Structure 1
Amino acid sequence: MEALEVPYTSKCTRSALACLERRYFVRMTQCEIHAYVGATVIDATGAPPRPDQTVVVIRRMITTVGPASQVPIPPGALVHDVSGKYLIPGLTDMHVHSEAETDDPRHFAGLYVANGVTAVREMWGRPVLHTIREKIESGELLGPRMTIASPLFDGEPGLWSDVPDTPIVTVTSPGQARRAVAEAIDNGADFIKVYSRLAPDAYRAVIAEAHRRDIAVAGHRSDNVPFLDQIESGQRSFEHLFGGLLPATSSDVDRLEAAMAAIRTSPEFHLGSWLKQITEVEWDAVASYDPTAASSVFERLVAADVAYTPTLAVHVAIDRPESIRLDDQRMEYLVPGTPESWGFLREQIYCGGGRSIEESAHHRDLLDRRRATVAAMDEAGVRLLAGTDSVGPGLFPGFSLHVELEQFVAAGLTPMRALQCATLEPARFLGRDDWAGTVQADRVADLVILDADPLVDIRNTQLIHSVVVDGYHVGPDDRAHLLATAQRIAGGDR
């Protein structure tokens, strides 16, 4: 059957005109059956790779996975010869901030899909994200499956309270906590996002109200509540490796957590002054690292079924800001003012107005400690989730998830385990593992087809031939179109 150029839509007959007017184009086919023949399937279950397989997709679901010599091709199927290629599940970025830098959501949505990212967890809820999700779900826009947080719940002063256009919800009492949770649910949040400066009574009230209303809580740990208490509180995931994780692995944990609670931030750049002070606590924690204490923390995380999203990609940028390159080729996909905004964030927020030679050396060593901590958590059985914190300095929507996978392997994880942290583990965390996250029959057809083996070199996840999003095939030409469209939009051409 011939492939035709039509607007992307899951309801083509009803929505084609609307899609045409909005210029959302990808290559689609008239048939609803696809057969991918000849690839090595890496299904992310942990099973060995299976060469020369056929994967049959009918509408949006995988119906058959098996040896090419044994699987019949259904009548009317569009056959894709992917011999010599590698087929993995679609990737999930579990920590993104899809900033509305343009008024055209094809920008970041296209960058995600072109990079094989078929699902994201938005960690800062904004009304525009819900509108974009509706367009994706209706078929009006090609984009990843989205899970959307509430706005940030933080204490007073909030770490982002002095940065323009960064709305937060200030929660300083149990009453405010209850109202904030109720309002977030009314506004469509999938989970509650908590932040670093919540006071103990406010934090516990958020957790209690969220539990009462059956909505999950994820985000930062509070500086003001012992980490072991937070693990037992019911918070489902913790984000980033700065803050309280390293102090919790110290032999002097009580003193270091008291030091965290004593942090007082400076007006104008609350987040920058917090990062500088929390780094001092972390460096103190490295000097008093206790393997027994660390093992105890990791065992508690496992027992409570709490996940951790390390976001090593952002720690590379924070701990080694010299790695941020403004001549990076991927800058062409970001809006023209990006270098200036990155410069501000790098100097005033990440570096707190400047670093001494000694502070820079401490940060370099801290990155190594963070990687070692990720390896230790993985060995202990902690559920790790791949996330990037894009679009901060040095980070790019879609592209940076591949950097995160590289960092996981650099930390000591196997390529298979790194892949699982972006496929199987997010599906488990989000309650989708019976229909997503692996290449198996009766799973949704979110797939990435690679030109080289990612188990030999994890960087091969970047060698993308084609992508399947919710059953829809995005071939090499379509990927190029998505990237070109994102580049055009970033440059101001709609």
Structure 2
Amino acid sequence: MKKTTLTSVLILFISSLCIAQSKVDLAITNANIIDIRTGKLTNNKVVIVDKGEIINVCSPAELSKYKANQTISAKGKFVMPALWDMHVHFGGGDSLIQENKDLMNLYIAMGITAVRDAAADISPSVLEWRKAVNDGKLLGPTIFTSGPKLEGYKSIWLGDIEVGTMDEVNKALDSLDKLKVDFVKITDNTIKPEIYLGSIKEARRRGYKTSAHIPPVFTIEQVSEAGLSSVEHITYLLRAGLKNQKELSDQVANGTQTARDLSLKALNEFDEATAEAAFKILAKNKTAVTPTLSISYATAFLDVNDHQNDAFLKYIGPGLRKTYDWRVQRAAKDTKEAIEIRHRTIEKAASLLPLLQRSGVKILAGTDAGYLNSFDYPGLGLHQELELMVKNGLTPLQALQASIINGPDFLNKSEKYGSVSKGKKADILLLNENPLLNISATQNIYGLVAHGEYLDAAKLKSLLIAK
């Protein structure tokens, strides 16, 4: 009897040793976890991270099962998935490759662990960085990229793939297939209308999500019905409030109406009921919208704030800062009337956010940050975007969902992102304040787990290097 009892004790002791010796990379204790889908707060949990993945979220009593190389107390802090910026750009030419690469640090420093690169002219480098981040050889956000975007002949944008026939569209998409791009971007500067629609349809047929600007010759509903996955820039949606949108777009197509006239009518004759009906079509077709408020506000109000005293400006390389001049100089030429229209346009467009939300349209949090887009800062810009979303009618939770939930969902990555739970990627943001009560709290960062590696506030600050 004694022998049996002793054997049982030994077995239990050995078993307990085995459990205690389950080695992991990181344990976050005392975590107050925010569920971004529901807004529910779960207190005093332990988050176990190993090899870049959350392998368990458990009670403090279960912590004894693990031997962590690093343990972080999150007592009094708020824990949630890290942020996604769903519209950024890397570019400006080969001479600015290093300055663009340096932007990777800015995203991480500001708690952003994934970005959607919506086309640029240095795609080979971006693709290299995408692989290096995925392989754990470069600290930076996970990159989802379109590669070079599709445009018409003689595009004003550098690096575009210029197409004028469907045969050229197919060859362009073949080249993007080889690059293994994550989605397809299309803009409307010189592309023929039929090639624009054909590009959307063919890209979707091949299984790609599509992202685009909206040509004035089409209604918002037409591009959605063609299969467009996301409208970039909320100002285009003002057209959805025109009762005679189709007639006016046809007039632009036949030259009896200018694109500027259409934009002014959309601003001055906007009808909410008409827009709501259009937005419900977007929702039905799962066409998302990326508002990019931060860039629109920055450039629309350059007459009020020239941003020369922005603290964050010093973290942008001189070559990239130089690319800001284009928009600044263009805005400086505007008349008093044009400036007033700039102000009214972004304020009216931004006011559509609650209507989009009520209509069931997925809103994506993206900034347009990068080269060319003046004073729209990589990293900081997303926090400003979230603040602007809330200022214009979304709740803090809805703004966070636009980044953390809708971002992965758009790219079909929800299985691995969007919550602090078992089986998800270990991209975790620790905040000193509750962002559900104050959206600006997203900037009050205590620490960040980026792809499984914990970076405290001091380390994150060290990534902000003046140029």
Matched, 1:114 2:109: yes
8 A contact 1:191–1:217 mirrored in 2:
yes
| Aligned counterparts of 1:283 and 1:212: Cα–Cα separation in 2 | 35
| Aligned counterparts of 2:168 and 2:235: Cα–Cα separation in 1 | 27
- Identify the match of residue 125 of structure 2 among 120, 128, 131: 128
8 A contact 1:242–1:279 mirrored in 2:
no
Matched, 1:76 2:67: yes
Q: Which residue of 2 aligns with 1:27?
A: none
Change (3 A) 1:117 1:249: same
Matched, 1:327 2:309: yes
Report the alpha carbon displacement of residue 258 of structure 1 after superposing the two structures with TM. Answer: 3.5
Once the two structures are superposed, what CA deviation does each residue of 1:417-459 show, in whole Å capped at 9, x if it has no partner? 1111110111111111121111122111111111111111101
| Aligned counterparts of 2:431 and 2:160: Cα–Cα separation in 1 | 40
| Aligned counterparts of 1:387 and 1:203: Cα–Cα separation in 2 | 23
Matched, 1:227 2:206: no
| Aligned counterparts of 1:454 and 1:355: Cα–Cα separation in 2 | 38
Q: Which residue of 2 aligns with 1:61?
A: 53
> How many aligned residue pairs are there?
434
Within-5 A mapping of 1:284-295: 284-295=265-276
| Aligned counterparts of 1:210 and 1:424: Cα–Cα separation in 2 | 24
Within-5 A mapping of 1:91-110: 91-99=83-91, 101-103=96-98, 107-110=102-105
Matched, 1:251 2:243: yes
Q: Which residue of 2 aligns with 1:318?
A: 299
Report the alpha carbon displacement of residue 106 of structure 1 after superposing the two structures with TM. Answer: 5.1
Matched, 1:208 2:201: yes
| Aligned counterparts of 1:102 and 1:169: Cα–Cα separation in 2 | 20
- Identify the match of residue 182 of structure 2 among 175, 190, 194: 190
| Aligned counterparts of 1:456 and 1:148: Cα–Cα separation in 2 | 33
Matched, 1:363 2:342: yes
| Aligned counterparts of 1:150 and 1:384: Cα–Cα separation in 2 | 23
After superposing the two structures, state which structure 1 stretch, 464-473 or 72-81, moved more.
72-81
User: Which protein shows a greater Rg?
Assistant: 2
After superposing the two structures, state which structure 1 stretch, 370-379 or 280-289, moved more.
280-289
- What is the identity percentage for the equivalent residue pairs of Structure 1 and Structure 2? 26
| Aligned counterparts of 1:104 and 1:167: Cα–Cα separation in 2 | 18
Structure 2 counterpart of 1:172, which letter?
Answer: G
Report the alpha carbon displacement of residue 337 of structure 1 after superposing the two structures with TM. Answer: 4.2
Change (3 A) 1:339 1:207: closer
Change (3 A) 1:106 1:246: closer
| Aligned counterparts of 2:260 and 2:293: Cα–Cα separation in 1 | 16
| Aligned counterparts of 2:432 and 2:87: Cα–Cα separation in 1 | 27
- Identify the match of residue 441 of structure 1 among 397, 405, 422: 422
8 A contact 1:35–1:73 mirrored in 2:
no
Once the two structures are superposed, what CA deviation does each residue of 1:248-304 show, in whole Å capped at 9, x if it has no partner? 22112134323554689xxxxxxxxxxxx7555323112211222111111101111
| Aligned counterparts of 1:262 and 1:394: Cα–Cα separation in 2 | 37
| Aligned counterparts of 1:398 and 1:260: Cα–Cα separation in 2 | 38
**Normalised by the size of structure 1, how large is the TM-score?**
0.83
After superposing the two structures, state which structure 1 stretch, 206-215 or 147-156, moved more.
206-215
8 A contact 1:106–1:141 mirrored in 2:
no
Q: Which residue of 1 aligns with 2:43?
A: 51
Change (3 A) 1:148 1:62: same
Within-5 A mapping of 1:402-413: 402-413=383-394
Change (3 A) 1:464 1:252: same
Matched, 1:343 2:289: no
| Aligned counterparts of 2:44 and 2:91: Cα–Cα separation in 1 | 41
8 A contact 1:242–1:282 mirrored in 2:
no
8 A contact 1:98–1:397 mirrored in 2:
no
**Which SS does the other structure have where 1:483 is aligned?**
coil
| Aligned counterparts of 2:88 and 2:225: Cα–Cα separation in 1 | 26
Q: Which residue of 2 aligns with 1:272?
A: none
**Which SS does the other structure have where 1:180 is aligned?**
helix
| Aligned counterparts of 2:199 and 2:428: Cα–Cα separation in 1 | 37
Contiguous gaps of at least 5 residues in structure 2: 1-22
